[in-house]
Structure 1
Amino acid sequence: MTLQQQLHELAEQRSEISVTLSFNTHRTHPDSAQDSIMLKNIVNEAKQSVILQFDKKKAQPILDRLDRLINQVDVRHNLESLHAFVNAESTAIVRSPWSLDKNSITIGERFAIAPLLKMANRNYEYYILVLSKNTTQVFRVIADKVIDEVKNEHFPFENPLFIPEAVRRSDARTVDNHVREYFNHVDKGVVELNKASGMSFLVVSLEENYTVLQQVADRKGIYLGHSAIDYNHVAPHELAKQAWDKVSQIQHQERAQAIEQLMSGVSQGRVLTDLQEIYRASINGNAELLIVHEDFQQAVTKIGEQEIKLIDKKDSSPMDYDIISAIAWNIRSKNGRVIFTQQDQLKDLGNIALLTRY
C-alpha cells in the first residue's frame, strides 16, 4: 500500500476510540535499542489514558491491540520517527525520515494524520522514471531509498521502434516520429501508475528526451521535474540520491511560490489567519491553499459542527481534537492544496494561513 493510499484509508476511518502514537526513533544500532523502551512507555501511557476515558468493555479491544503493537515494531527498520494508528479493527505503522518536535499521544474519533500529510506534502514517496530513446525503467522510491523496480505490462520497456543503424538514423523525421511514438507509450504507462498510486514521477534522462516527453504527455502535472542523467552513475541507489536532491530542491521552490501566491491574496481580502474561520472554510469547501508552519500545533475542543474552542498548551490532553489534521484533510479531500513549511516568509501572517477560493 502506498503512502497516499494509506493516508486516505486512515483519514476516512471513524471509531469511538482511535489512538495515534507519534515518537522519535533511531536509524542505527545501538541507539535503536532505546526505541523498544520508548515504545513500551508510550503504549503504557496511551493505555492509561484510554482506561481513564472509556469503560472497560469499549476499551479492551484497543488495550489488546496496543499490547500487541509492542511486538509488531521491529526497531531495526526504524527511521527518524514512527507513527502508529490503532483502533478496535486495525493497526497501522508508518515510519518517517523526519524527526518530531515532540512525542505525542492523541485519542479521539479519528486518527491524527498530520505527520502523514506532511510526508505526502514532501513527495516522500514517488517514482523515478529513467528514460532513454531505447529503454525505460521505473523505480519506486521513499525519500532517497529505492524500494523496488516496477515490473508490469508497461515497465521496464524497450523501444521496439529504436533505429540502431546509422544510415536509417540519419533520417531525422523518421527518428523523431518513432521517438515520439515510443515516449507516448511510456507516458500512458506513467499515467496508469499514477492513477493506481497517486504518486508523482521524477524523470532522469537527457534534457532533449525530457523535452519530447513533456510535448507528448497527456498529464504534465504528474511529472515533478527533471534531473540530468549521468551514465557513470546509474545504479539504483545513486539514482535515488540524485532524485531526492532534485525533489527537495523542487519542493523548496514550490513552497516559496505558494507563499507568494497566498501573500498576493491579502490585498484581495482572501486570506484568513483566524483558526476558527479557517476551520469553517475548510468544512464549507472555501479553501484553495493552506500553508502551515511545520511545527505548529493547537489543541482544541469541538463545541459544534463548525465551532471549536482553543485550549492553552499547558492544559492540553491526549483527548483534545487534532485540529490541524482535520483542517488539512478537509481541504485536501476537496481538491485544495496543503503546504507544510519551515520557511520564514509565512511568519508575517502567523503559523497558519488560508487562501480562500472566493
Structure 2
Amino acid sequence: MNSHRTRPDSLKDEVSLKNHIKTVEQRLSADTDKKTRTKLMDRLQRLAEEIDHSHNLDSLILFVNEDMAEFTRLRIPVEDRVVIDDNFATRDLVRALHLQTSYYVLVLSQEKARLIEAMNGDVVRELGDDFPMETTLSHSRYSGEHDSDSHQTNLVDEFFNRVDKQFQKVRNSNPLPLLICGVHENYHRYLNVADDKRGIFDTHLNSQRIGEKAGNIVAEAWKIVKDYTIKRNNERKAELKKAVSANRFLSDSNDIWRAIHAGRVRTLFIEQGLFQPAVLKDNQITYVSEDQRTATNIIDDIYDEMIEANLSFGGDVVFLPKGELTKFNGLGAITRY
C-alpha cells in the first residue's frame, strides 16, 4: 500500500491499512479454512500493531504466512493491492531495488574525510565509527632532503591511502559504488593511491564540501548518480533492441514461462504498473479478467511468478516505463541462447 512520509497525511495510513486488512479477511474467508484464516489474521493484526506510521516512507508492504510476519518500507510508490498466494508477491521489492540506487559519497579534503551512505537523493546514514577521518601526519616524519611541496604531497597521499583502506573495509561488508566529493586534484590523487578502483564512479562531485550538511551533499551527488543510472537503463534498452534483431527475444507469456524454467531467460522486461491475474494449469498460463482475481485458484499476478522464477534461475528483471513495450503487450524476455 502507498503511505506518507509526513503528517498529517501519515495519519491516514493506519486507516488505509485497516481497510486492506478487512479485504484480506474477506479474501481468506473465500479461499481458506477457519483454522488457517484465524492464524493468519492473528499474525497480520499483531504485525499491523507494531508499525509506527510516523516513520513511513512512500509505501508499506506486509508479508504474512503461517511461519512469519514482517513488514518493510519502500521509497517508491506502489499499486495498492492485496495478494493471496502460495508465494509472496515481491515485485515491488524487486522494482525498488532497480529504481533505487544505493551508493557511498566520500567527502574528501586533504585534512579530513567523511563517508555517507545514500539512496537516490536521500541520506541513509553518515558513518560514524571509523569516519570521519582526519590526518594525523606531520612534516617531521620526512627528512630535510625533500622540499616542503614534496613533504605535503607525501602527507596527503599517505592520508588518502589510509582513508581508502578504511573505506575498503566498509565496502567489503556492504558493497556499493562510490562517488567522490572533492576538488579535481584530490579526486585524481585519491584514485592514484586507491587499492581497488572498481566501483568508483569515473566522475566526481567537483567541489569542496567537507563542512556541509550531509543532506545538501547527497542532493548534489544524486544529480550525478541519477545521470549514470539513466545511462545504464538506456544501455539495457539497447540490449533489448539488439536481442530482437538477433532473434533472441520472446514475447509470448507461455514461451517465456517455459524458457524461464529451462534456464534460458537471461533478462525479463516488464512495463511498470502491469499486473495480470491468471490460471496456471499443466504448465500453461491462461489470462483471466480483473474481476476474477479474487476467485479460488487464481494467481493474482502471473508476472510476479515469472519474476520469482527467473531470479531463482539466475536471471534478472528490468522494469521499463509504460509504453516502452507496447508492441509486445508489456512483456518480453532476452534469452541466453
Do the structures match in fold with TM over 0.5? yes
Counterpart contact for 2:161–2:190, Cα < 8 Å: yes
**Structure 2: which 5+ residue stretches go unaligned?**
none
> Percent identity over the alignment?
26
Query: Residue 144 of structure 1 aligns with which residue?
Result: 121
Counterpart contact for 1:146–1:236, Cα < 8 Å: yes
C-alpha distance in 1 between matches for 2:322 and 2:148:
49
- Alignment length (residue pairs): 330
Give yes or no for the alignment of 1:116 onto 2:87: no
Q: 2:13 aligns with which of 35, 43, 47?
A: 35
Q: TM-score, normalised by structure 2?
A: 0.82
> Residue 63 of structure 1 aligns to a residue in which SS?
helix
Counterpart contact for 2:293–2:300, Cα < 8 Å: no
Give yes or no for the alignment of 1:157 onto 2:133: yes
Q: Amino acid of the residue matched to residue 282 of structure 1?
A: I
Matches within 5 A, 1:130-141: 130-141=107-118
> Residue 228 of structure 1 aligns to a residue in which SS?
coil
Q: Amino acid of the residue matched to residue 127 of structure 1?
A: Y
**Structure 1: which 5+ residue stretches go unaligned?**
1-22
- When the two chains are superposed, the root-mean-square deviation of aligned CA atoms in Å is 3.3
Counterpart contact for 1:163–1:175, Cα < 8 Å: no
C-alpha distance in 2 between matches for 1:246 and 1:58:
50
Q: Residues 26, 214 of structure 1: CA spacing in aligned structure 2 closer, same or farther, 3 A cutoff? A: same
Give yes or no for the alignment of 1:56 onto 2:34: yes
Give the C-alpha shift of residue 68 in structure 1.
Answer: 1.6
Q: TM-score, normalised by structure 1?
A: 0.78
Q: Amino acid of the residue matched to residue 273 of structure 2?
A: D
Q: Residues 38, 243 of structure 1: CA spacing in aligned structure 2 closer, same or farther, 3 A cutoff? A: same
Q: Residues 44, 354 of structure 1: CA spacing in aligned structure 2 closer, same or farther, 3 A cutoff? A: same
Query: Residue 301 of structure 1 aligns with which residue?
Result: 279
Q: 1:170 aligns with which of 129, 149, 174?
A: 149
Stretch of structure 1 that moved more, 139-148 or 270-279:
139-148
Query: Residue 340 of structure 1 aligns with which residue?
Result: 319
Q: Between the two structures, name the one with larger relative contact order (CA 8 Å, sep ≥ 6).
A: 1
Stretch of structure 1 that moved more, 235-244 or 183-192:
183-192
C-alpha distance in 2 between matches for 1:265 and 1:33:
48
C-alpha distance in 2 between matches for 1:331 and 1:210:
40
Deviations 1:109-148 (A, max 9, x none): 2211111111111234433232344433222334333232
Q: Residues 346, 77 of structure 1: CA spacing in aligned structure 2 closer, same or farther, 3 A cutoff? A: same
Q: Amino acid of the residue matched to residue 4 of structure 2?
A: H
Q: 1:273 aligns with which of 251, 254, 272?
A: 251
C-alpha distance in 2 between matches for 1:289 and 1:213:
36
Give yes or no for the alignment of 1:205 onto 2:185: no
C-alpha distance in 1 between matches for 2:110 and 2:313:
39
C-alpha distance in 2 between matches for 1:76 and 1:214:
42
Q: 2:266 aligns with which of 278, 288, 291?
A: 288
Give the C-alpha shift of residue 49 in structure 1.
Answer: 1.3
Query: Residue 6 of structure 1 aligns with which residue?
Result: none
Counterpart contact for 1:259–1:291, Cα < 8 Å: no
C-alpha distance in 2 between matches for 1:81 and 1:67:
18
Q: Amino acid of the residue matched to residue 231 of structure 2?
A: Q
- Structure with larger Rg: 2
Stretch of structure 1 that moved more, 266-275 or 325-334:
325-334
C-alpha distance in 1 between matches for 2:165 and 2:273:
39
Give the C-alpha shift of residue 65 in structure 1.
Answer: 1.4
